[in-house]
Structure formats: C-alpha cells, structure tokens
Amino acid sequence: MLIKIIENKFSQAFQQAFPDLDKTTKIEVTRSTHARFGHYQCNSAMKLTKLLKMPPRDISLKVLETLGEQSEIIEKCEIAGPGFINISLTSKYITQSCQEMTKDIRGEAKADKPIKIAIDFSSPNTAKEMHVGHLRSTIIGDSLARLLEFQGHDVLRLNHIGDWGTAFGMLIAKLQDPKVKFDEKTADLSFLVTLYKEAKKQFDEDENFKKQSQLEVVKLQSGDAQTLQYWHTICQISRKAYQEIYDLLDINITERGESFYNPLLADTIKDLENKKLIEVSDGAKCMFLEGYVNREGEPLPFMLQKSDGGYNYATTDMASIRHRIEDEKCNRLIYVTDAGQATHFAMLFKAAEIAGYLDPQKVRADHVPFGLVLGPDGKKFKTRSGETEKLIDLLTTAIDKAYNILQERAKEKEAGFDPQEMKDIATVLGINAVKYSDLSCNRTHDYAFSYDKMLRFEGNTAAFLMYSYVRIHGIKRKIPNAQVSKIDLQHESEIALGLHICQFAEILDSISDDLMPNRLCEYLFELAEKFNGFFRDCRVEGVSEQNQRLALCELTADVLQQGLSILGLKTVTRM
C-alpha cells in the first residue's frame, strides 16, 4: 500500500531528524487534494511545532535533509506554505506498483490481522412489507460486509428481524377467527399486512380480543405447539417475500431475529441484577448511565424490563451484544440503522461496557447511522396515495425505467440486442442505479430519490461507471489478438491513471475504519474520469505502445469491476 510505505519513510526521517521525538508519534501522510500539490502530502510539521519548539518550515527542511533528495520511490519533495511537504513519486515506482497489481488486485487489499466481525443490517419486521426505509440499511450494510470480506475478515451478516412480541399474538388470534379465510399454501405477505391492520384495530377497540391476543403471546413464549405452528407459518410467508427482494438486490444475509435471543433475556436481566447494575423505576428495571438525560435534564433510563415484566428492544440488544461477543467471539460489532436510533446504541454500548460484556480494548462497536430517503418535495418518500413506498415496487419501477431508456438508446445507435439481453441489462442497470444513488451520498445525510437523476449516463452515476467498464471491453474487442505486455507508464495521463489505481487499497482501508461507502463511489468516479482522460490522450489501438496500454486498460477494468462488486453492483460488457 503506497501510503503506508511513504508514511514509514517519513516516520523514519522524522525520527532521525529529531531523535528525542517519541517513537509512538504518528506521522501522517494523505493523498494530495490536487495534482499541482504532488501525489501525497505530509502535514505533520504543523502539528509538531509546539512539541519541537521550531517553526513548521524549519521542521520540514530538517526532515527533507534527512530524507535525501531522491530515491527509487520518491522523485521530489517540495515545501509549500508554512511547512507542508508535497511528495511526488517516480513514474518507475508507480509503474512497478501497477504491475504488481495485475498479478492479483485482491492481494493488495488483505488485512494484516483478519478478525471476526458481526454486521447487523436490513432488519425488517415480520408480517410487514419491506419499504423504502429498509433500503439504506440493507445496501449500506451489504456494501460494508462485502468490503470487509474482500479484506479477508470473517464477516457474520445478521438480519435482526422483528419476529417476536405482541404483534404476533394479535395475528395468531386473528387467524383463529372462523370468519378469516386462511390458506397457508396461497397466503402471501399482502394478506398478512391487511390482516395485521384489522387485528390492530380490533386489539385497540375490543377488550376480549386484546386479552385473547395477550394469551396467545404467553402461549407462544411457553412453546405451545399450535401457536408455534401459526408463528412459523407467518414467518415463512414473510421470509419468502423478503427473499424476493434480497435476490433482486443480490444480498446474502443470515436471519437471526428477536426470537433467537428470547431464551437469553431472563438470564441477561439476572446477570445484571447480580452485578447490582439494575435500578427499579416506576416498576421497570433500568440502568441509569452517566451523561444521558432527557429534555428536562432528568436522568434518561435505559429500560431493560417493563413494569409488567415484558421485555423490549434494549433487552434483546443487550442479550445479542453479549452473545455476539461471548459466544460468537466477535472482535468488532457494526449496527446499520437510521440516525434516529443513535442515542439508543450509544446507551447500549455504554451499558454493555459497564456490564463487562463489551471491552473497548478488545472489541470495537460501531453504530452506522444514516439519513432519510426523501421524495422530490423534500419530505419522506411516499406513494401518491401518501403511503410508504414498498421496496419491491421501487425496485421494479427502476428496472422498467432502465429498460425504456435502453430501448431508446438502442434505437438511436441501431444496436442489436435481443429482448432477453435487453431485459437482463435493464435489471442490472436499474438495481445498480438505485444502489449507487444511495451509496454515493454521505450516509449521514438525507437524499432526494429521483429515477431520472440516478439513471443518467453522465455524472457520478452507476450508468456512467458501467459505460466506462463497457468502453474498455469495446477496446479489447477491437484488438482481439493483441498480446498484453508489461505496463510502462510514460504519458502524463498514464501516470495519473496508474497512480489512482495504486491507491485502491488505501481507499478501502480508510473506509473499513470510517464505514463511509461514498468514498469508494468518489474513487471509482474519479477512476472512470482518469481513464477517459487517458483514452482521450493516449491512443491504444495500432500504436507502438498498444500492448502495454492494453494492459493498463485491463487493470483499470479489474479495479473498476472489483470496486463496483464491493458496492454490490454488477457489471455488463455491452450496453
């Protein structure tokens, strides 16, 4: 990884220039923000001014004297402003690094120390439709899982679905109503959604039905055979509907819902009581954590058992975090949910730390919050009738619109595609467009959903990146018998493209830390733009440099395809 090699060189130079400097002092090197500043920048002199009691420019001058003028790796260093060091690498070293990547770009990304990581994402509620609100958790979580798997970590992809509780008592009680015509072979999720709405209304209005529903919950928790059979049927109908969406999105995930942790809840409460961490407030069992107060400034309870003896999300999450650390032996926990749950997870991590389940020195816990998906009016994305958009409808609409766009473009270019090929490409383009439009935004922000914008072939879109990949395959088709040779970067545009390719692993490394997939989108968009610049400036077919430039094209395609795959996007070779 280029950046680590340069950091090591500069760390040694700082240490030699200032022997009294603590060896643990972090010397930071970053990618340059603009080509005129070189390839990398070292700004550590600014931070060490007070410690070394020297002006930053003098610090930088002394470091460069120690470093020497040139090397096999660094062509030149220049001091800019008050003491920034701009670093330019040799074209020979960039060429060598690119050539190494042609052997196996995966080898460039492997983690030094693979660990076990649990990622909690998607998490729909059984017997309810997955809607647009589940989109972000599902695709952000999947992209992070893909990234960490690519780096060699053991990733546990967990779907913490809502499959337990009062809602099921209502549904099961309703299913036993003689007036309800229920055939488990033909019943689908729409049937369950409608039935739940009716059951909820009756639960609120009919005291007898409410008691019957609560009784069914007790029977479910005690393992009554008939009640469990109803529950299994409800879960299976829901699971089938969710799997249709996961298949369309190419999502691999392991279901481990609230029901999985239900047997662990009582023991978790008992363990916390034995550790004298539970306080009773208005009959409820709570933990009060320092620094957490409500709007009135009163202590905010982390409620783990309700006054009626029932459990809640906090109970399940405490049991699950304990299980993932103690039983699954995970070294890192990642929870991908909306930003509205930020306080809950902050309290969860703090409570788990106090309970002795989570040791921050051994296990890292991250909440990955995300903003809302908005409609064109800047409000929550809904259908024209005002209901929350079903995720399956949103995805199929994107595919249909992609198909129409491809048909128009095929007519304009008189391209020959059979209907099935067109349909397959439209499916890839439609799903890619939805995913990329989301992932390219900073996940902490809200974003406006627009089919027109996401399906454009210009700008930072999935279609633009896919077209760049297709263009490379078009070049290869024009020279089918060419022999790919070693990469030899000479032209300025070749060097710029080669350097960017070599920075792939360091981009992935930064994302594995901050969990911001939009950084990979920015990298890939810049990669496509640099390739287009190379293609404009450097002819490939029929020139003396043909074979070495073809090798650079192939490496670009490999990195582009791998990067898109990490985001969960597929590629096509014709469009």
Q: Which of 89, 124, 155 delimits the end of a domain? A: 89
Q: 294 lies in a domain?
A: no
In the prediction, which pLDDT does 206 show? 93
Residues 157, 119 contacting (CB under 8 angstroms): yes
The residues, ordered by sequence, that sit 6+ positions from 95 with a Cβ below 8 Å of its Cβ are: 487, 488, 489, 498
In the prediction, which pLDDT does 107 show? 46
Structural domain count of the chain? 2
Q: Which of 232, 252, 272 delimits the end of a domain? A: 252
Give the integer Cα–Cα distance in Å for 567 and 140.
Answer: 8
Helix axes 546-567, 462-478, angle to 10 degrees: 150
Residues 285, 305 contacting (CB under 8 angstroms): yes
Residues 429, 462 contacting (CB under 8 angstroms): yes
Output the CA–CA distances (angstroms, integers) from residue 94 to 29, 407, 487, in the order listed.
17, 42, 10
Burial class from Cβ neighbours inside 10 Å (0-12, 13-18, 19+) for residue 188 reads exposed
Q: What is the Cα gyration radius of the chain?
A: 28
Q: 39 lies in a domain?
A: yes
Q: Which of 316, 220, 331, 326 is nearest to 268 (CA)?
A: 316
Q: 24 lies in a domain?
A: yes
Q: 266 lies in a domain?
A: no
In the prediction, which pLDDT does 34 show? 86
3-state SS assignment for residue 514: helix
In the prediction, which pLDDT does 495 show? 96
Domain that holds residue 64: 2-89
In the prediction, which pLDDT does 108 show? 46
Q: Residue type for 288, please?
A: F
Q: 179 lies in a domain?
A: yes
The residues, ordered by sequence, that sit 6+ positions from 462 with a Cβ below 8 Å of its Cβ are: 429, 432, 433, 435, 436, 437, 454, 569
The pTM for the full model equals 0.93
Q: Which of 252, 268, 284 delimits the end of a domain? A: 252
Helix (H) or strand (E) holding 287: strand 284-293
In the prediction, which pLDDT does 415 show? 63
Q: 521 lies in a domain?
A: no
In the prediction, which pLDDT does 481 show? 81
pLDDT in tens, the chain (575 residues): 888 999 999 999 999 999 988 888 899 999 998 888 899 999 999 999 999 999 999 999 999 998 876 578 999 999 998 889 999 999 999 999 999 998 876 444 566 789 999 999 999 999 999 988 899 999 999 999 999 999 999 999 999 999 998 899 999 999 998 899 888 888 899 999 999 999 999 999 999 999 999 999 889 888 899 999 999 999 999 999 999 999 999 999 999 999 999 999 999 999 999 999 999 999 999 999 999 998 888 899 999 998 988 889 999 999 999 999 999 999 999 999 999 999 999 999 999 999 999 999 999 999 999 999 998 888 888 766 667 788 999 999 999 999 999 888 877 666 667 888 899 999 999 999 999 999 999 999 999 999 999 999 999 999 999 999 999 999 988 988 888 889 999 999 999 999 999 999 999 999 999 999 999 999 999 999 999 999 999 999 999 999 999 999 999 999 999 999 999 999 998 88
* Residue that has been written with the tokens 């040799």 in this structure: 90
**Long-range pairs, 220-229, Cβ under 8 A, ≥24:** 220/164, 220/168, 220/169, 220/172, 221/262, 227/172
Q: 566 lies in a domain?
A: no
Give the integer Cα–Cα distance in Å for 93 and 113.
Answer: 27
In the prediction, which pLDDT does 411 show? 76
CATH number for position 34: 3.30.1360.70
Helix axes 225-249, 207-222, angle to 10 degrees: 80
The number of beta carbons lying within 10 Å of the beta carbon of residue 328 is 14
Q: 70 lies in a domain?
A: yes
